[in-house]
Structure 1
Amino acid sequence: MFHINELVVYPSQGVGRVERIESQEIGGATAEFYIVRILSNNVTLMVPVTNATNVGLRSVCNMKTGMEIFESLKDRSDFTGYTGQNWNRRYREYSEKLKSGDLGDVAYVLKELFLIGNDKELSFGERRLLEQAMSLVSMELAFALSRDQEEIREEIEEMFADVIADTENVEKSE
């Protein structure tokens, strides 16, 4: 059960605040809903209280988990390199991970896309996924670590500065 003013994460939308819990009658039955305002875009969502877990609504991670996620971004030992896998298959896989709402999965997508971008130019869809993953990870880490989202974003970009620089050099030479 979430409480009013509690920060929560809604999969693929990001961090939101429970503004209220209200009852509504739908089809003759009364149901309770969390009214959640997503902080990044001011969208309001109605999430049935009884279905909140099924849709992936969860609390913002704690500081310890936030630090672990931050460290996992630095660790490149699990990256096997760009394998030439069909970008469409990779896009679907990454989209599913972003929809899962699991911060570890979202951070994995972020890291993979940065590192793949070192080996080849990312497609438009991959760049969009990269931006979505960056937004989701940096916002949740900002709340978990009590820091500014832009600072977190800059630190993540610095972790991959070699990758970003290589990609930019390739684009300039073309």
Structure 2
Amino acid sequence: MFSVDQLVVYPAQGVGKVERIESRDIGGATTDFFIVRILSNNVTLMVPVRNALNVGLRPLCTEDQGRAIIESLKDRSDFTGYTGQNWNRRYREYSEKLKSGDLADVAYVLKELLLIGQNKELSFGERRLLEQATGLLTLELSLSLSKEQDEVKAVINELFADVIQPKIVE
């Protein structure tokens, strides 16, 4: 499924590297674990091999998928607009999308928050979600597109130059 030194994505944590696969005795049963070190914060996770897909562990997106995500950021036709919806409800919805591990969901959260921020000041929680979405998205895209993370942030800033004043994504 996953191999040592492979880059993988763990939902809400981001890109990590499978450092090793090890067996541990847990409650009298031997269980194999992927030992994954998250690149952004150096946290180590133990993910049971047999449950890896269920928890959302997935391979890094491909270059083509990364390019498609960038294209999806350009399309604003799915933007529902700021409807005065309770920020707390949006926060829960966006948090769930970030936890899904789906890169398209992460891109959606980033785009929505940037566009909502055009019309109103984001709450503290929304700004934190924006930072989280930015970090998750730009690191994975930088690795899949073989670019520096700052280059990917610059592309996003350019895509949203009409709404980001000053630059939010840094």
Shift of 1:80: 2.5
Q: Which amino acid aligns with 1:43?
A: V
Aligned to 2:39: 39
- 1:154 equivalent to 2:154? Answer yes
So what's the TM-score if we normalise by structure 1?
0.94
Shift of 1:106: 0.4
Aligned to 1:19: 19
1:108-136: CA deviations, max 9, x gaps? Answer: 00000000000110000000000000000
Give the RMSD, CA atoms, in angstroms. 1.3
Q: Could you tell me whether the CA contact under 8 Å between 2:157 and 2:167 is conserved in 1? A: no
Gaps of 5+ in 2: none
Counting aligned pairs with the same residue, the percent is: 72
Q: Could you tell me whether the CA contact under 8 Å between 1:118 and 1:166 is conserved in 2? A: no
1:146 and 1:166 map into 2 onto residues whose CA distance is: 27
Q: Which amino acid aligns with 1:73?
A: L
Moved more, 41-50 or 76-85: 76-85
Aligned to 1:141: 141
Alignment of 1:1-174 (within 5 A): 1-165=1-165
2:144 and 2:167 map into 1 onto residues whose CA distance is: 30
Shift of 1:166: 7.2
2:112 and 2:56 map into 1 onto residues whose CA distance is: 23
Q: Could you tell me whether the CA contact under 8 Å between 1:115 and 1:163 is conserved in 2? A: yes
1:44 and 1:154 map into 2 onto residues whose CA distance is: 29
Gaps of 5+ in 1: 169-174
1:130 and 1:20 map into 2 onto residues whose CA distance is: 32
SS in 2 for 1:5: coil
Q: Which amino acid aligns with 1:127?
A: R
2:80 and 2:102 map into 1 onto residues whose CA distance is: 22
Shift of 1:157: 1.6
So what's the TM-score if we normalise by structure 2?
0.96
Runs ≥4 residues deviating over 3 A: none
2:93 and 2:13 map into 1 onto residues whose CA distance is: 18
Shift of 1:167: 8.8
2:29 and 2:142 map into 1 onto residues whose CA distance is: 39
